[in-house]
Amino acid sequence: MLLSTRDLTKTFPGTRALDGVSFDLKAGEVHALLGENGAGKSTLIKCLTGAYHRDSGDILFEGQPIFPQSTLEAQAIGIGTVYQEVNLLPNLTVAENLTLGHQPRRFGLIRPRAMHAQAEAMLAGYGLEVDVRRPLGYYSVAVQQIVAIARAVHLSGRVLILDEPTASLDAREVRMLFDVIRDLRARGLGIIFISHFLDQVYEISDRLTILRNGRHIATRAAADVDRMQLITLMLGHELQQDAATRQRPAVQAEGAIKFAGTGRRGRIAPFDLTVHKGEVVGMAGLLGSGRTESAEVMFGAAPTDSGTVTDSDGPVDLRNPRAAIAAGFAFAPEDRKTDGIIADLSVRENIILALQARRGWARPIPQAEQVRMADDYIARLDIRTPDAEKPVGLLSGGNQQKVILARWLATNPRFLILDEPTRGIDVGAHAEILRLIEDVVAEGMSILVISSELDELVAVSHRVIVVRDRRHVSELTGDDVTTDTIVRAIASADDMPGAGA
């Protein structure tokens, strides 16, 4: 065994994140770690790499017990890790991020040129066009993720750990990553791979370990479990399969919101878009194509500098998010850590925050009402938290996403913009969120969904807008909404006929 744990236990106040977990990683295998949000996957790897100190249990590296006190020690024995959220430093250059801690030196001084060459070499093979001298923060989340992977791969002499590395990557980049992983596996590394995309799990993994509520449930060869069994192992029950049957209520004609020539210089070309009441509009495109920018413009987070927005009552004021919220808009952003959650506030406070902001400071929501709302949404969205008073920053990623959804649902908006709402969310919650979208749409809410998962878009959208190079290049409706057509629209060099750009 390359790396194994015996009876690993880790407790946080109010939560037992790991409960006697035993786990083995062999050399030359890709071992997927699976489980619902909050199952303890990230906690397990953080204990393995010394980022957390375990309460009890053993960690063995090649049969020898190790006691990593810091990630530095883990790196020293050849464990490279990509942690769940992009964990590099945006203020350092790409090269500095890649080489931090092992910069080439002469007489104790860093040699910048050699450092840049080394960084470029580390990035070769990922098909990235970046200037390693630029600050990392200049690049998109996807680029940052790849840089993080490149760094971890470089550091991984023996073990590579990837905690949801693909959440913000598109298909092409995932393919490239998998090529790298296969290559490393062939060279005898042990690789731990965490993902909520079961397709990817089946594509790359040799074995699977399933955690639930901090406990080890099963370890199987990937070939021995089928998808349904796997999901049942993860959830502890079968997945209700009603989301697959697509029966959407027809969109309503009145109450549409019309964007005409809306745009912002340098961010997104002016576009026209009409969102009907009770309609789900999907938005597809490659990373960096301008989907988030579209959403920000539509929510007033990046105010428009052209065009008009109207509804049946006349012009809609979208000067800033506050105005947009007053007009009944809502926006669950892509980067929940920096744009979404208020980490130190409790789940309850995070849920009521948008509603409270809209009511104004002078009319506080009564405590009892707050508790009722929080409990209600915790139950409805199945948010895994010991209680409503836990700081939201301590929840697992998927549950944080649900809290943000709850925050916006609490304001009962008429137009809800969801930017990558299911990123990092487990299969169970994924299905729940899709069901939720159907529910609120049935009540007449309009929704714009931005997602890199085309299956998901196809499953929920009435209509899909395809974005490329910061322009809305085409619009697919009705039976045209299939993964195939979307992929083609994204890839095609010229605009499809009937494009609404």
Ligand X SMILES: Nc1ncnc2c1ncn2[C@@H]1O[C@H](COP(=O)(O)OP(=O)(O)OP(=O)(O)O)[C@@H](O)[C@H]1O
| Tokens coding 200 | 């990817």
Residues contributing to the site for other proteins (CB under 8 A) = 11, 13-16, 51, 55, 70-72, 75, 81, 83, 87-93, 96-97, 100-101, 103, 105, 108-110, 112, 133-135, 138, 151, 299, 301, 320-322, 325-326, 331, 333, 338-345, 349, 353-354, 356-365, 386, 407
Within 10 Å of residue 108's Cβ, how many Cβ atoms?
5
Indicate the DSSP class of residue 106: E
- 41 binding ligand X? (CB under 6 A): yes
Q: How far is it, in rounded angstroms, from Cα 212 to Cα 36?
A: 7
- Which spans in 319-366 are helix H? 321-326, 347-359
Among 4, 5, 43, 49, binds ligand X (CB under 6 A): 43
Kindly give the pairing relationship between strand 30-34 and strand 207-212.
Answer: parallel
Measured CA distances, 454 to 36, 465, 481 (Å): 22, 12, 10
Told to check if 140 binds ligand X by CB under 6 A, we report: yes
From residue 104 to residue 133, the character string flagging contacts with ligand X as x (rule: CB under 6 A) and all else as - is: -------------------------xx---
The single residue among 143, 169, 257, 481 that binds ligand X, judged by CB under 6 A, is 143
**397 scored as a contact of ligand X (CB under 6 A):** yes
Return the one option of ligand X, other proteins, Mg ion, none that residue 108 interacts with (CB less than 5 to 8 A, by type): other proteins
Out of Mg ion, ligand X, other proteins, none, what residue 39 binds, judged by CB under 5 to 8 A for its kind, is: ligand X
Q: Shortest distance, CB of residue 39 to ligand X, whole angstroms?
A: 4
- Considering the complex, what minimum distance in angstroms separates the CB of residue 89 from other proteins? 4
- Whole-number minimum distance, CB 365 to ligand X, in Å? 25
Residue with tokens 């809410």: 445
> Which residues sit opposite 162 in a β-bridge?
82, 193
What letter does residue 391 receive in the DSSP assignment? Answer: B
398 binds ligand X (CB under 6 A): yes
218 is a contact residue toward ligand X (CB under 6 A)? no
φ and ψ of 323, to 5 deg: -65, -40
Least separation in angstroms between CB 113 and other proteins: 12
The minimum distance between CB 84 and Mg ion, in angstroms, equals: 5
User: Is 451 near ligand X (CB under 6 A)?
Assistant: no
Q: Does 177 bind ligand X (CB under 6 A)?
A: no
By the rule CB under 6 A, 209 interacts with ligand X: no
State yes or no: residue 162 binds ligand X (CB under 6 A): no
Decide if residue 200 touches ligand X (CB under 6 A): no
- Measured CA to CA, the distance from residue 347 to residue 342 in angstroms comes to 9
What CA–CA distance (Å, rounded) separates 184 from 450? Answer: 33
Return all residues near 364 (Cβ < 8 A) that are at least 6 apart: 356
Task: Please list every residue from 413 through 442 that binds ligand X, using CB under 6 A.
Answer: 426
Q: Is 75 helix (H, G, I), strand (E, B) or coil?
A: helix
Residue 333 site contact among Mg ion, other proteins, ligand X, none (CB < 5 to 8 Å, cut-off depends on kind): other proteins
* Residue among 26, 51, 54, 70 nearest 159 (CA): 26
Three-state secondary structure call for residue 396 = coil
| 3/251 with CB nearer ligand X | 3
Q: Please state the closest distance from residue 39 (CB atom) to Mg ion, in A.
A: 8
User: What's the N-to-C CA distance of the chain in angstroms?
Assistant: 56
* Residue 343 site contact among other proteins, ligand X, Mg ion, none (CB < 5 to 8 Å, cut-off depends on kind): other proteins
CB closer to Mg ion, 293 vs 475: 293
Give the angle 441-300-465 at the CA atoms, nearest 5°: 50
What are the percentages of helix, strand and coil residues in the chain, rounded to 5?
Answer: 35, 25, 35
For ligand X, what does the binding mask look like between residues 275 and 314, x meaning CB under 6 A?
----------x-xxxxxxx---------------------
Contact 476, 486 (CB under 8 A): yes
Does 50 help bind ligand X (rule: CB under 6 A)?
no
CB of 105 to Mg ion, least distance (A): 35
**Chain residues 308-347 in contact with ligand X, contact rule CB under 6 A:** 334
Question: Rounded CA gap, 356 and 358, in Å?
Answer: 5
Contacts of 293 (CB under 8 A, 6+ apart): 264, 267, 268, 302, 470
CB of 292 to Mg ion, least distance (A): 3
Task: Summarize as ranges the residues that interact with Mg ion (CB under 5 A).
Answer: 42, 84, 292, 334
Single-letter amino acid, residue 232: T
In this complex, which beta carbon is closest to Mg ion, that of residue 165 or of residue 328? 165
Of the pair 270, 278, the CB lying nearest ligand X is at 270
CA angle 180, 183, 186 (to 5 degrees): 150
- Output the CA–CA distances (angstroms, integers) from residue 207 to 34, 168, 242, in the order listed: 11, 24, 30
Exactly one of 2, 38, 269, 410 binds ligand X (CB under 6 A); which one?
Answer: 38
Using an 8 Å Cβ cutoff, are 217 and 233 in contact? yes
SS3 219: strand
37 makes contact with ligand X (CB under 6 A):
yes
Residue type, 125: G
The region of 102-110, 375-383, 391-399, 472-480 touching ligand X under the rule CB under 6 A is 391-399
Name the residues that contact ligand X, by CB under 6 A: 12, 15, 17, 35, 37-43, 84, 129-130, 139-143, 285, 287-293, 334, 394-398, 426
